[in-house]
Amino acid sequence: MGSSFSHGKINPETQVNTRLEDFVKSLRTCIDQAISQAVDLVLFGGDAFPDSTPPPYVQEAFAAQFRRLADEKIATVLLVGNHDQHTHGQGGASLSIYRTLAVPHFIVGDDIGTHKITTPSGQIQVTTLPWLNRSNLLTTPETKGLPLSGVNELMLKKIQPILEAEIRRLDPNIPSILLAHAMVDSAVYGAEKFLAVTSKGFQIPLSFLNRPEFDYVALGHVHTHQNLNPSNDPPVIYPGSIERVDFSEEKEDKGYIMIEMAEKASPIEVNWTFHLLPTRPFKTIKLDVTTSQDVQGDLLKAIKAQNIKEAVVRLHYTLSKEQVDLINLKVLHEALKEAHTYSIRPELNTHKSLQRLPELGVGSHIDPLDALKIYINSKDDLKEIAKDILEAGQILLSEK
């Protein structure tokens, strides 16, 4: 909650970004269902907000929904995801406040541990595996000089025995769930994949989680709903996000998972179902009009062919330089008015493939600043700000 604001607008009645209202609506539907079906337990897989310091009104919108579970005495586990963590000290997660305030029946999962929870239907064990980063697990001397792959390997070596110890302590007579915020190595990723190449992200092998001691593995982090274990033994499920964060999720169904578990039977029978949430549609209208005889007409036709009412729309079209004057932008804006919000991005087809400068070719060993000078000299449009760029470059290079 608090993301995707660029795809929304301020609701004049509430003064709140409509995308926050969309997320609240989705979350409210989930909580409504939990209450109306009198569930025993609610699991939240992490990443409540884009970062650990959400604005108060965003945090309040989240809390206002979850407190309804506390009111109904429904046990709830809030797992800490990477976006919930603050870099400073222990308990430094946006969700830790729920523990500090001792919200009844709420558990905050910010470390690896197993929580035995008594529900109206009996006991259940939930092992939490929050997002772990290197500073949680490793000391600076341990990682000194190690490449990123080595650091990740070392992290996995540390996690495995800790998780193993939790698994061994599980009571085989009580249903057990692993709730993990992780990037699992066999998952299909969307925007989250970019985390993988930074020091912040690493992948956990499916074999760590895919254990018969767990009756269900509930995952957070990846926004695309998927089951990583089609044999369902146990199910290893990403429910996905409850709303679309950006256009990379345009074609995804959004929803929540309802899990049914038999109380005591060996093996414990588990059924899970994905329930669609009524989310705001995202629509990309993309066309190339370079060979069109009626540029404006074709653009309007492409817009009319879509149901854009209340959708977040982007119109991307490619045209040639000569066609620019044939476009009446005012008419395009009028045609897109029905959308919730929209953006128009024309692109000229004159983009030549970028030529590599021979001076900067592979194998040339030149000073970075000289390379920058050569690059700027090759770009007419940069000449005016060449001095500023060089100065900025000097400053950046002097920062070690």
Task: Report d(CA 189, CA 194) in Å as an integer.
Answer: 9
In Å, how far from its chain's centre is CA 243? 10
Q: Which residue among 19, 20, 44, 47 contacts Mn ion (CB under 5 A)?
A: 47
Burial 7-46 (b: 16+ CB within 10 A, else e): bbeeeeeeeebbbbebbbebbebbbeebeeeebbbbbbbb
Which C-beta is closer to Mn ion: that of 221 or that of 340?
A: 221
Stretch touching Mn ion by CB under 5 A, among 202-210, 216-224, 277-285, 368-376: 216-224
Structure tokens of 286?
A: 């993309």
Q: Does 81 bind Mn ion (CB under 5 A)?
A: yes
Which C-beta is closer to Mn ion: that of 7 or that of 221?
A: 221
Which residue do the tokens 């964060």 mark?
A: 245
Stretch touching Mn ion by CB under 5 A, among 42-50, 104-112, 137-145, 328-336: 42-50
Q: Does 201 bind Mn ion (CB under 5 A)?
A: no
Which C-beta is closer to Mn ion: that of 18 or that of 85?
A: 85
Stretch touching Mn ion by CB under 5 A, among 74-82, 98-106, 293-301, 350-358: 74-82
Task: Kindly state the smallest distance separating residue 360's Cβ from Mn ion, in Å.
Answer: 37
Q: Does 134 bind Mn ion (CB under 5 A)?
A: no
Q: Length of the chain in residues, anyone?
A: 400
Which C-beta is closer to Mn ion: that of 82 or that of 127?
A: 82
Task: Find all residues with CB under 8 Å of 27, minimum gap 6, and list them.
Answer: 1, 62, 65, 242
Q: What share of the chain is helix, strand, coil (3-state, %, to 5)?
A: 35, 25, 40
Which C-beta is closer to Mn ion: that of 240 or that of 255?
A: 240
Q: Does 82 bind Mn ion (CB under 5 A)?
A: yes
At position 367, the amino acid (one-letter code) is D
Which C-beta is closer to Mn ion: that of 33 or that of 133?
A: 133
Stretch touching Mn ion by CB under 5 A, among 13-21, 75-83, 199-207, 348-356: 75-83
Angle of the 368-377 helix axis to the 386-398 helix axis, nearest 10: 160
Task: Kindly state the smallest distance separating residue 221's Cβ from Mn ion, in Å.
Answer: 4
Gap between the terminal Cα atoms of the chain: 36
Task: Kindly state the smallest distance separating residue 310's Cβ from Mn ion, in Å.
Answer: 28
With CB atoms as reference, the residue minimizing the distance to Mn ion is 221
Going from the C-alpha of 321 to that of each of 327, 332, 349, the distances in angstroms are 11, 18, 8
Residue pair 19/58 in contact (Cβ under 8 Å)? The answer is: no
H helix or E strand, kind and range, residue 229: none
Structure tokens of 196?
A: 């993988």
Which C-beta is closer to Mn ion: that of 47 or that of 110?
A: 47
Which C-beta is closer to Mn ion: that of 218 or that of 285?
A: 218
Q: Does 221 bind Mn ion (CB under 5 A)?
A: yes
Task: Find all residues with CB under 8 Å of 2, minimum gap 6, and list them.
Answer: 20, 23, 49, 50, 54, 55, 58
Which C-beta is closer to Mn ion: that of 47 or that of 215?
A: 47
Task: Kindly state the smallest distance separating residue 224's Cβ from Mn ion, in Å.
Answer: 13
Q: Does 84 bind Mn ion (CB under 5 A)?
A: no
H helix or E strand, kind and range, residue 272: strand 270-276
> How many positions of this chain bind Mn ion (CB under 5 A)?
4
Stretch touching Mn ion by CB under 5 A, among 43-51, 69-77, 315-323, 366-374: 43-51
Q: Does 223 bind Mn ion (CB under 5 A)?
A: no
Strand order in the sheet with 312-319: 282-288, 312-319, 341-348
Task: Kindly state the smallest distance separating residue 50's Cβ from Mn ion, in Å.
Answer: 10
Find residue 129's DSSP bridge partners.
180
Task: Give burial (CB, 10 Å; 0-12/13-18/19+) of 58.
Answer: buried
Stretch touching Mn ion by CB under 5 A, among 151-159, 219-227, 262-270, 280-288: 219-227
Task: Kindly state the smallest distance separating residue 149's Cβ from Mn ion, in Å.
Answer: 21
* Binding residues vs Mn ion (CB under 5 A): 47, 81-82, 221
